[in-house]
Amino acid sequence: MKRMLRTRPLAIAMACVPLYCTAQPLELDTDAAHIIVVRPLDFWSGDTSMQRDTLDAMRSRQVSYDIMLDGTRYRGSPLVLQGVSDNPVTLGAQAALAARGTTLVRRSAYLFHVLDATVLAPADYAKFAKAQLDYRQLLVRREGDPRTLPARVRFRNIAGDALSIGALFIPVPGLGTAAGAQAMANSGIAEDLGNVPRPARAALIPAVLPSLDTGAYRQIDVRRVDFTPDTPGEIVIAYRSDKTPQAEQEALVQAIVALAGADTTADEVDSARQTDFKERVEMWDACVADGECQKEASNDRQ
């Protein structure tokens, strides 16, 4: 019989009140939309060099990004001889970041990529959030004991296994694997994934999302944010009425400022990562205690 993943981490996350709990998403508002931002910065990773470099970038208030809008990539950061792209989103974000003392540079250690929007019907939001929760638990199982992961990353370079973690669980075009299909079948995520509309599956990340009163929204856009394979991010924009270009632009500017960490300190990010690490340890230890994970085998596997 298929064994369903525990929902304990979701309960933990929902019970957390502080902003930086379990890499808890930021929730923002404009007149037209409610915005949820999951920042790559807030996730713990076994790649200690990357984690150190991004904190240094935060302390120096330097960030780089680009964004896809309706199939076209726009520069959020300047080149040597060119400024940011001439678009209301990139220009608005540049001004908002400058007002907060954050500089857009050609290539920062924190360089993220905002992908194009995928439309999600409000009625499907809870299914999407459940699939992400399962995905997060599978990520922990795939990585093994978080306490030994940094050493395994250093000595065996598993962090460079680009997209292998995502490929194991979420079979989007070009990423599906037989191992992934088996892992999904054994965990129960296949059933949850099947409830998510196919286009939205490519936007899934291993993260907890807050609940939404979906009856209050007309349309939801989801954008995946790529940084490193094990620390992606996400933008969810829930529109209260019909989506307009202006509403989207205002929401994206706020989301980019949040992603950049312009209103956050390096100490707050480090605290969020440590909270995330502690929960991963709890999830791993629970899996071992249940007999579903084998500590020694997991530590040697990578």
- Long-range contacts (CB closer than 8 Å, 24 or more residues apart) made by 175-184: 183/138, 183/142, 184/138
Tell me the whole-structure pTM to 2 decimals.
0.82
At residue 100, the pLDDT reads 95
Q: Which two tokens stand for residue 97?
A: 């970041």
3-state secondary structure 95-135: HHHHHCCCEECCCCCCEEEECCCEEECHHHHHHHHHHHHHH
Rounded Cα distance, 73 and 172, in Å:
21
Look at residue 291 in the predicted model and tell me its pLDDT.
Answer: 87
Q: Any bridge partners for residue 217, and if so which?
A: none
Residue 1 lies in a domain: no
Q: 122 near 215, Cβ under 8 Å?
A: yes
Domain contains 2? no
d(C-alpha 182, C-alpha 190), whole Å = 9
Instruction: Please list the pLDDT of the chain residue by residue as tens digits (302 residues).
Output: 333 344 333 333 333 333 334 457 999 999 999 999 999 999 999 999 999 999 999 999 999 999 999 999 999 999 888 899 999 999 999 999 999 999 999 989 999 999 999 999 999 999 999 999 988 888 888 888 999 999 888 876 544 443 344 444 443 332 233 344 444 555 566 677 777 878 888 899 999 999 999 999 999 999 999 998 889 999 999 999 999 999 999 999 999 999 999 999 999 999 999 999 999 999 999 999 988 888 755 444 43
Q: Which helix (H) or strand (E) holds 182?
A: helix 178-187
Within a domain: 3: no
| Sign for the pseudo-dihedral over CA of 38, 220, 187, 115 | negative
Radius of gyration of the chain (CA): 19
Is 289 domain-assigned? yes
Neighbours of 245 (CB within 10 A): 10
| Residue 20 within any structural domain of the chain | yes
Structural domain for 19, as ranges = 8-301
Residue-level pLDDT at 22: 46
Evaluate whether 265 touches 110 at the Cβ level (below 8 Å): no
pLDDT in tens, 210-260: 999 999 999 999 999 999 888 999 999 999 999 999 999 999 999 999 999
- What pLDDT does 299 receive? 42
Please tell me the total count of domains within the chain. 1
- Residue 266 DSSP one-character state: H
What pLDDT score was predicted for residue 177?
35
C-alpha torsion angle, residues 170, 147, 41, 47 (rounded to 10) = -80
- Residue-level pLDDT at 294: 82
Helix (H) / strand (E) containing 237: strand 231-239
- Give me the residue label for tokens 């598993």: 158
Got the DSSP string for 36-96? EEE-GGGS--S-HHHHHHHHHHHHTTEEEEEEEETTEEEESS--SS--S-SSHHHHHHHHH
Closest by CA position to 15, among listed 206, 205, 207, 210: 210
- In tens, the pLDDT along 259-296 reads 999 999 999 999 999 999 999 999 999 999 988 888 75
Helix (H, G, I), strand (E, B) or coil at 16: coil
C-alpha to C-alpha distance for 297 and 205, rounded to whole angstroms: 26
Q: Are 126 and 208 in contact (CB under 8 A)?
A: no
* Residue 71 belongs to some domain of the structure: yes
